[in-house]
Amino acid sequence: MGLLDKFKRKIELTFAESRQDDELIFEFISDEMDSGIIRKGLYAKAEANSKGDKVQTKALYLQYRLQSVKDSLKGKSFIEYFRESLLKEHNIDEDESFYLIATNEINEGDINLALWSKCEAINMGDEIKTKYCYINKRVKVLSNELKSIIRKIMKEEYLKIFDRYDLPGKKDAEVDIELGKYFPKAPEGEIYLSEFTESIQSRLSKEI
């Protein structure tokens, strides 16, 4: 019996008992782990934040995985969510990906030497503490780098729309992006949002 079938059966058996959603999801996560399915990025995050303690790592992993499932539901039924996640296997958020990247850097010996030295000094040469200090700080760096790239792409594509259609309000572009209110001075500005969004998605898929 596959994971999805197991979960469907649990839902059918437990709806009448009015069990809590969290309990159902925890059981699904337990089935994942029993089947050897571990989200490596989330596990790396848990390991970093528990400083390698195995018991605490498992507890944090369960907590993070629970939250990642709940975040991914977005109004869908449990069955719809798990069908998509099992078939497509692409529900990895940025934070999880960054922890995986940072962990792989250490495993492959491709670290940021300056950041490693800083962590080593902070932790008085303790190798284990240095490793998890590096991972957490590296995640922050990667996150900030991504935000900077996205902001740059958004600004460039936003300005292109102004030039393409000769729209008013171009000088306030950065303010618009900061506030999340696009083309406020353009007549029927919402009609340009679709093109703006598609151009950003196209750039991100090519450049990130």
pLDDT tens digits in sequence order for the chain, 208 residues long? 444 454 445 444 444 333 456 777 787 788 788 878 899 999 999 999 998 899 999 999 999 988 888 777 766 655 455 545 544 443 445 677 889 899 999 999 999 999 999 999 999 999 999 999 999 999 999 988 888 888 899 999 999 999 999 999 999 998 998 888 889 998 888 888 888 888 888 888 788 6
- 8 Å CB contact between 45 and 99: yes
Question: Which residue is listed with tokens 């709940």?
Answer: 70
The ranges assigned to domains in the chain are 3-92, 144-207
| CB neighbour list of residue 135: distance below 8 Å, 6 or more residues apart | 44, 48, 99, 102, 103, 106
pLDDT of residue 20: 52
Token duo for residue 96: 């999880």
pLDDT of residue 204: 81
pLDDT of residue 113: 94
pTM of the model: 0.58
Question: Which residue is listed with tokens 């109004």?
Answer: 75
Counting Cα atoms < 13 Å in the Cβ hemisphere of 40 gives 9
pLDDT of residue 158: 93
Give the number of other CB atoms < 10 A from CB of residue 52: 12
Using CA atoms, how far apart are residues 128 and 179, in angstroms rounded to an integer?
Answer: 42
- Nearest CA-CA partner of 98 in 132, 53, 135: 135
Question: CA dist 46 to 30, 131, 206, Å?
Answer: 16, 13, 30
